[in-house]
Amino acid sequence: MGSRFRGNDGGGVTLRRQFFEVLAFMTESTSTPPASRGLRSDQVAGLMLIALALYVGWMNRVYPLGTLAEPGPGYVPLILAVFLGAMGLLVMIAGGKSMPLAVMDWRERWRALAILAACGFAAYGLERLGYRITMTALLVFFIGVLERKHPARVVTVAVGFAFGTYYLFATLLRVPLPVSPWGV
């Protein structure tokens, strides 16, 4: 089962889902994942951690390890890679009863990818097109294309937000924000 009731800052784990998990706990209901063959989520997670540990260990080979009395720049990263690998192994070994990979819910993946790609475009365009043009384009994509809102509202919100926040941060609070070659 995935983590229950664990939270963090900035919104924590999905709040709505977390809430229903809390409710499930309060009513003592437990949902056991259906039995199925194949890899389990924690086994895959453990493998990912081991792969990361091996990659860091391999990358670390160029840094001197030094001696115990005088540890070099590669010393602590190597310890961490070994530690991460060990934790990955533990997660994998203990993951036999975790949720089957096949039943994991990835419904949001396409929307998540679209959001990340759009934000990637914004990162690429920020210093080339300037803050105002980039943000306007980003919001038009989100509200107009992804959310399919009325064009007039899309333009109002996108332009209003981009120019309003520019005025607030760049003009009033003097936070330097990029400007396009055309001065916008």
Query: Could you say which residues in the range 146-175 bind another protein, by CB under 8 A?
Result: 147, 149, 157, 161-162, 165, 169, 173-175
- The alpha carbon of residue 33 and the mean position of all alpha carbons in its chain are separated, in whole angstroms, by 25
Choose between 84 and 184: whose C-beta lies nearer to another protein.
Answer: 84
- Contact yes or no for 102/36 (Cβ under 8 A): yes
User: Cα(55)–Cα(77) distance, rounded to whole angstroms?
Assistant: 11
CB of 173 to another protein, least distance (A): 5
Q: Give which of 50, 48, 39 is closest to 101, Cα–Cα.
A: 39
CB of 164 to another protein, least distance (A): 10
Q: Which of 54, 65, 155, 177 binds another protein (CB under 8 A)?
A: 177
Interacting positions 19-38 with another protein (CB under 8 A): 19, 22-23, 25-27, 30
Interacting positions 48-77 with another protein (CB under 8 A): 48-49, 52, 56, 59, 63-64, 67-77
User: Cα(64)–Cα(86) distance, rounded to whole angstroms?
Assistant: 23
- Contact yes or no for 147/139 (Cβ under 8 A): no
CB of 184 to another protein, least distance (A): 16
User: Cα(96)–Cα(74) distance, rounded to whole angstroms?
Assistant: 34
CB of 36 to another protein, least distance (A): 17
Q: Which of 51, 103, 127, 163 binds another protein (CB under 8 A)?
A: 127
Supply φ then ψ for residue 66, to 5 degrees.
75, -160
Choose between 36 and 112: whose C-beta lies nearer to another protein.
Answer: 112
